[in-house]
A and B are shown apart, each in its own frame.
Chain A
Amino acid sequence: MDKLIDDEMLVAQFQSGRQNAFDELMKRYKSKIFSYLLRSVRNYEDAEDITIEVFFKAYRALENWQPKAKFSTWLYKIASNLAIDYHRTKARHPVYALEDTEIPEANLVASDLYSDPEKQLEEQERGRIIREAVDQLSPKQKAVFMLSRYEGLQLKEVAETLDMAEGTVKIHLHRAVKRLQTLLRPLWENNEI
């Protein structure tokens, strides 16, 4: 990634009419935003749609954007809001079943790691159980956990992204980890790992 020109400089270029600058920003962040959303919504199609929506919204709002926070934080903010909306909508439709099947498991676990197909299946099953446990967090707990753990955001940046006080972020984070402990404990207590 060519970071010689920082994001905020690209934004300034875009605001003064250089369209290519926005392409460069998309190139820098599409993979990050997509994988963040894929972890959050766990469905390729929806993750792709929301990724497009994130950049669409960013494009239209960027004209009036003020560099109060980092560009990346702002982008995660758009993505998080859309992900939280998504989970709320899904929650209102109880028919929804968790769809880890949407993610081809063959792609998830490097197949050459295990010559034993049975062990490989077990491994996949365990991954699925763990991701489903993360799904059981509240949308805010999940967002805090994902942003701080997998997107490398500092708590302060998570707070900015989610419009929360830093203390609130920490409370959500503690609850998230506690909840995961309760949900996942059987995995290690039954000697399954």
Chain B
Amino acid sequence: MTTRQQIRSTKGVSLKHPSGDKRFQILDATMKRHQYQQDALIEILHKAQELFGYLENDLLLYVAHSLKLPPSRVYGVATFYHLFSLAPKGIHRCVVCTGTACYVKGAAALLAAVEQSAQIHAGETTADNQLSLSIARCLGACGIAPAVVFDGTVCGHQTPELVGDRLKEYLGKEQ
């Protein structure tokens, strides 16, 4: 890289991010890798959520402007998929699969166990911000049903006891 290119590229970055927030630089790099293609929206929203934890309106607008997509389209996509969250999430995440296979294998009891011990419903976050609970419709892991995702790791053959133990770890940290 020549000095001039270096200057230009640093200039570009500083122009785009007066906030100085490094995460935007990473997000930019991801969009660049996808050549700012509009059909890479879902991948880019994934990256944005991974970086920022959730998809704030400003962030959606930033993605919309960068990909030259209408804001309403970006918002529509972000609210269509359960995996995207527009509100802040807790430190730990628990996703109970309530797809057909898991349901047959007792997902309802698992969900009830989590709701009971965390005192929240699916779609909510505990007051101490330790845990967010959500449900999903088939994770594609029916062979190990009933399945629960703890912090991004799919765990199969779950029982209310196993789930309870894991939650104790998560929720106990505060005490």
| A, B bound | no
Taking Cβ atoms with an 8 Å cutoff, the residues of B that contact A are: none
